[in-house]
Amino acid sequence: MSERVGHAQRDAVRRLIERAVGNGYLDASEYDARVRQVLAARTDDALRATLEDLPPAAIAPPRATQPSGAVAGAVLGLASLPLVLCGGIGGVTGAAAAVLAGWAMDRDGASESAVTGVVTGLVSCAYALIVVAVMVVEV
């Protein structure tokens, strides 16, 4: 049984058609024709008819990206900076941050978080070496 539709349903279908255009499944003239059909639709069957020849991939929302190691590397790198003063332990966490963020850069590209993780991790390693060297010289 077909039910009547309102503005919210029409707008949702219009957005799906826009997504199909963005994904290359429809051209501008097909978009215009389908939007006119959507605006004229009074039932859910009429709305479904505007989408039925499109494959699911045409109107599927973009996949959410998996959380990457970039954010974890950045957090670990930033946390490692003050840990350097604790007997150079920040060097270990800094190295872990640099490796984790580096892997994320290889996989996902150089995001701001990944670069932050690599830079702060390497800086922590360098400071840790200095702290350890000073501790050894003083002994």
- How far, in whole angstroms, is CA 138 from its chain's centroid? 48
**Tokens encoding 10:** 């029409």
Residue in 121, 65, 115 with CA at minimum distance from that of residue 90: 121
Give pLDDT tens digits for 44-96: 999 999 999 999 888 877 665 655 788 899 999 999 999 988 877 889 999 99
What confidence tier does 28 reach under pLDDT thresholds 50, 70, 90? Answer: very high
Question: For the chain, what is the total number of helices (H) and then of strands (E)?
Answer: 7, 0
Percent of the chain, pLDDT > 90? Answer: 61
Q: What is the pTM of this model?
A: 0.52
Handedness of CA 48, 54, 56, 60 (dihedral sign): negative
Amino acid at 73: G
Cβ atoms of residues 46 and 37 within 8 Å? yes
More reliable by pLDDT, 73 or 111: 73
